[in-house]
Amino acid sequence: MELSSLKHKFLNVFKEELKGQGQVSIKTFFSPGRVNLIGEHIDYNGGMVLPCAINLGTYAVVSRRHDEQVKMMSLNFEEMGILTFDLKSIQNNPDMDWGNYPMGVFNEIIQMGHAIQTGFNILFYGDLPNGAGLSSSASIEVLTGVILNTYLELGIDKTEMARLCQHSENTFNGVNCGIMDQFSISQGAKDHAILLNCDTLEFELVPADLGDYRLIIINSNKKRGLVDSEYNIRRKECEIAFGLIKGSFEKRKLNYLCDLSPQEFLEIAHVLTEDSVYKRAHHSVTENFRTQRSKEALSAGNLIEFGEWMYSSHESLKNFFEVSCSELDVIVTLSREVRGVLGARMTGAGFGGCAIALLEKSQCDRYIDYVGKAYKETTGLSADFYIAEISNGSGVVNESI
């Protein structure tokens, strides 16, 4: 949607609210979604992740009010109308549905001791597909945080913004998410990926100029199942593996599975007698190695090597961590058949959701046509395709109108 159309929508939606206020300052903000390029299911094993912000995300058009109410509407949930809450009485409310995510950030800012004297009118619009694993909830959370940081001049830096938005989702909305989503959305930089240690929050911006290549996000439209229960099983198996290795490894003290190099893992792997435990550890150690090598390949502009690491990551997630599914495997297999594709892999939690592919810009239409048709014939499902660019993090789009 064009920004001018979004601003006109705002004026129509809130015309009654704006009556009698004279000249009103209206600001526009954008907050990206994110994809994880590589480094899957290792953040809780001390590994590195390599996400990037993308140019799909959430927009907000905003004005201040003269009372203590916040009125919000999302064009993605237009049938719900305007949602309202009072700054003096914020609490999670199932009837607020999507509104609990921005409301939670308001609550977090207030709990930090910042006074919010007057409310806001906010119109949201997102072009992220809901439920596809591109972090629409984190996008709207960081967007809300940036709105408040801008209007109230709070001086909150990007890392602290990520922390407070994650804490809001954990506590106000009861979602036990990690910090990667909020961090990459807050710290995103155009044509850069982010090499991030989710435990220490040490990070490095990695040059990722794709030139004539593009990222395509493929939503399998396979509804995720088993994610929570299987995630807990995988995490427990990793803990078992680390306990066995730590007790037998004599070279140095280990703090995480991913402290091991692949060679060191081969030397100690004999202590992992249970097949599933061995597989989880194998993925964790090798995926961390792949992430480090991917960072080097991207920095050097070696997209062919980076693409091969993507393929390798998918095979490990499929065969060793066992979190892929037939639909995601079909997408990756079909991607190998299209000229100009350098790499493809599942991304996110797995058991459904999205895959990503890196391919020549000139081949995007051919890729979408070929993979779309063959995927439908093979699985009976229709995939959705999104051509993405690596973008900046959340911020003001236009100071005023």
Residue 228 has pLDDT above 80, yes or no: no
What is the per-residue pLDDT across 33-78, written as a single tens digit (0 to 9) for each?
999 999 999 999 999 999 999 999 999 999 999 999 999 999 999 9
- Chain-wide mean pLDDT for the chain? 94
* 274: phi then psi, degrees, rounded to nearest 5: -85, 125
Q: Give the pLDDT confidence score for residue 133 in this predicted structure.
A: 65
Please name which of 31, 17, 136 lies closest in space to residue 76, comparing C-alpha atoms. Answer: 136
pLDDT tens sequence across 173-220: 998 888 999 999 999 999 999 999 988 999 999 999 999 999 999 999
Per-residue pLDDT tens digits for 85-101: 999 999 999 999 999 99
Give the chain's domains with CATH numbers.
3-209+391-398 (3.30.230.10), 216-388 (3.30.70.890)
Q: pLDDT digits over 9-24, tens only? A: 999 999 988 887 767 8
Question: Cα torsion at 125, 129, 134, 138 (round to 10°)?
Answer: 30
Specify burial of residue 99 (Cβ count, 10 A radius: 0-12, 13-18, 19+): buried
Per-residue model confidence (pLDDT) at position 113: 96
pTM for this predicted structure:
0.92
Q: From residue 58, how far is each of 33, 105, 118, 185, 246 by CA, in Å?
A: 8, 15, 23, 11, 44
| pLDDT confidence tier of residue 135, bands split at 50, 70 and 90 | confident
181 is catalytic: yes
More confident residue, 132 or 283: 283
Selecting among 43, 97, 157, 181, the annotated active-site residue is 181
Task: Lowest mean pLDDT of 5-19, 220-234, 258-272, name the range.
Answer: 220-234
DSSP state of 233: H
pLDDT in tens, 325-369: 999 999 999 999 999 999 999 998 889 999 999 999 999 999 999
Does residue 373 register a pLDDT over 70?
Answer: yes
- pLDDT confidence bin for 131, thresholds 50/70/90: low
Q: What local confidence, expressed as pLDDT, does residue 128 receive? A: 84
Percent of the chain with pLDDT over 70: 97
